[in-house]
Structure 1
């Protein structure tokens, strides 16, 4: 399997560590190793009347990748967290309509999850990731490595260095107990972007680790890709 190790910037040690630093809002310029990146737009306050088309996952900026995934992962309470989930029961919790996120773990041992992914949606997940200060990312990425396979075939992993994001945590989120549930911070890690997988059953294996702060992520996903059942169908 393809393995990544890169000196750069790095799972909030919570997949995945927690610390923060002042940074601009998510709709301002984001920084990835000093390179300007377009930060993502805030999610709509109200759901659209009709589903949005699937995102072109490979065109997302570092800020869009990391802002989107972290706000999904931190948007659930600990008792319904896809990151703390050990069976896949909460795989669909808080998902968006035009992309499907998958979670790693907080580094507490291997897990096996069964998850249904809607047909036609791209998939995004980290091998390892963290949020904190830019200096935390620098240390983290020095030792971050990982790999993923889909049905035995290796998937390309991409290192994304320290990027400014605005993190919104749900009350009771497993990612920190700060009274302030909105903070400016930095995120970094090794990421996998998948085009919409073919319908049917798939086996996805995710592995990642970083010796600083000392975490290992290991998840076996049993994925079923299928069209959603229409509301009211019998």
Structure 2
């Protein structure tokens, strides 16, 4: 995934960037002005025991325009989602519940222009790396 579909299914109050299911990727994404951004550093959907083990070894780094951003730890929050057929979490269509956990970064709205976001995460044998080239749209006047 190259980021060309990063606008799909975005809520109106925050912009979510995707992690990976392992490995390194580079993505380019256009983000509307005025939106805070949330991105997983390393995360998992499982049960409470799996999450406890995952978070205990989770570590990660995030750099926005070369400056370190400290991730926040989420020990395990209940989540409910409506999944489509073939989704990578359950593989099946329909509602599912689970526990979401991991390290996340929340950024305030960024200034218009281009930004570099580098995300690296690891827990046990699982690791991810995402390099985002973000373009923040100029704010529109109304």
**Range of TM-score over shorter length:** over 0.9
Show structure 1 runs of 4+ deviating over 2 A: 227-230
Q: Could you say which residue in structure 2 is the equivalent of 1:222?
A: 133
Match of 1:147 among 44, 47, 61: 61
Superposed CA deviations along residues 44-97 of structure 1, whole A, max 9, x for unmatched, are xxxxxxxxxxxxxxxxxxxxxxxxxxxxxxxxxxxxxxxxx1x11111111112
- Aligned length, in residue pairs: 141
Q: Say which one has the larger Rg.
A: 1
Q: Which has the higher strand share?
A: 2
Q: Structure 1 length normalisation: TM-score?
A: 0.57
Q: Deviations over 1:101-123 (max 9, x none)?
A: 0011000x211111101000000
Residues 141-180 of structure 1 correspond to what in structure 2 (within 5 A)?
141-178=55-92
* Residue matched to 2:107: 194
Alpha-carbon displacement from aligned partner over 1:19-55 (angstroms, at most 9, x marks no partner): xxxxxxxxxxxxxxxxxxxxxxxxxxxxxxxxxxxxx
Unaligned runs of 5+ in 2: none
How many Å separate the matches in 2 of 1:228 and 1:170?
A: 34
Q: TM-score, normalised by structure 2?
A: 0.92
Taking the TM superposition and a 5 Å limit, the aligned residue runs for 1:1-234 are 85=1, 87-107=2-22, 109-178=23-92, 181-211=94-124, 214-227=125-138
Higher helix content, 1 or 2: 1
How far apart in 2 are the matches of 1:229 and 1:195? 18
Q: Which runs of 5+ in 1 are unaligned?
A: 1-84
The secondary structure found in structure 2 opposite 1:190 is: strand
Structure 2 Cα separation of the partners of residues 137 and 129 of structure 1: 9
